[in-house]
Amino acid sequence: MGEAALKLPNIRINEKLCKGCSICVDFCPTNVLEIKGTVVAVKDLAACTRCQLCDLRCPDFAISVID
């Protein structure tokens, strides 16, 4: 049922730049992200709606959602 049409987004995280402030985790409307150790990690990629809020509000140039 249309599963083939579902293309998962590509969330690119630069772990060298991430400071683990958790702004992206807190603002994500579908809880895609989590803090693992000191940096952010993807928890549930399928839930991502590509809203780009994490990219827009990340202060550290560390995360972006590439289609």
Footprint of another protein (CB under 8 A): 16-17, 19-23, 26-27, 29, 49-53, 55-61, 64-67
Q: Using the minimum distance from each CB to another protein, give the nearer residue, 23 or 43.
A: 23
- Tell me the HSE value of 27 on the side-chain side, using a 13 A CA sphere: 14
Instruction: Tell me how far apart the alpha carbons of residues 34 and 47 are, in angstroms, rounded to a whole number.
Output: 13
CB of 11 to another protein, least distance (A): 10
Lookup: tokens for 15: 């772990």
Q: Using the minimum distance from each CB to another protein, give the nearer residue, 1 or 38.
A: 38
